[in-house]
């Protein structure tokens, strides 16, 4: 349910962190702190982009609401 931002929204780029002072820098950041529930380790040895990509931002953001609302095939 994290994607519904019930605890407040922090955008990836040029936004403010929850401290209200630190500006977010997205992929240009030198450090990141996240809840371990939202981290996934991908083995370099067994890396397959087609298996990992759906777990990342756009994939899970699209999939999660479809699953939550039990959306099925169009008829």
The neighbour count for residue 60, using CB atoms within 10 Å, is 16
Tell me the pLDDT band of 2, cut-offs 50, 70 and 90. Answer: low
Average pLDDT over residues 3-8: 75
pLDDT score of 36: 85
Tens digit of pLDDT for each residue in 42-75? 888 878 877 777 777 777 778 888 888 899 888 7
Helix and strand numbers (H, E) in the chain are 2, 2
What pTM value is reported for the model? 0.42
């Amino acid at each position: 349910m994290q994607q519904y931002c019930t605890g407040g929204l922090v955008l990836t780029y040029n936004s403010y962190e929850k401290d209200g002072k630190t500006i977010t820098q997205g992929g240009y950041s030198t450090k990141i702190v996240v809840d371990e529930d939202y981290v996934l380790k991908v083995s370099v040895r067994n890396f397959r982009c087609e298996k990992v990509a759906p777990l990342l931002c756009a994939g899970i953001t699209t999939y999660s609401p479809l699953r939550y609302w039990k959306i099925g095939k169009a008829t």
